[in-house]
Amino acid sequence: MPRINPNKHIRKAYKTALQNIAPIWEKKVPKGTTVPEKYFLISTQTKQSIERSKPLSDTDANVWEWQTSIVVEAIVWQALGFADSEPIDDLEQALINAIEAGITVDDFDVKSVIFVDSVPLDTETPTHSIYRRVITYEHWMQEQ
């Protein structure tokens, strides 16, 4: 049985888990979209096939296990000059709660979910203060 690339399955799972918290897109806010006050971006994914599980019987196919990572950016826009970190803290906490409550990835059994880190990358524009947290999770998964 060929390996199943887990990337699109993980992105779909994250979009499903986070869509009721704030809008979520891949890489950037789509052209022509009004930028919301808060949102998520799925920015980067990695994967490594770490092992091939042995079949349980002679009729079972081998299945692949994957170690994957995903980077999600939590972003909050505020008017220039405001310094209130609470909204970005709340958005990050909502993401953590949603993912660690148990993420379901189609075609895979999720064996572990590990919060790797959260890096603040705030910036200023001429009109806004932008609070940005770059959050990384790792998943160990097995194809079903």
Instruction: Compute the average pLDDT of residues 10-34.
Output: 97
- Position 57 pLDDT exceeds 90: no
| Domains of the chain from N-terminus onward | 7-53+62-143 (3.30.2000)
Whether 59 shows a pLDDT value over 60: the answer reads no
Residue 54, pLDDT > 80, answer no
Compute CA distances 108 → 19, 26, 77, whole Å: 21, 21, 35
Strands (E), the chain: 24-26, 38-53, 63-79, 108-120, 123-124, 128-143
What was the pLDDT predicted at 37? 96
Q: Are 136 and 101 in contact (CB under 8 A)?
A: no
Indicate the length of the chain as a whole number.
144
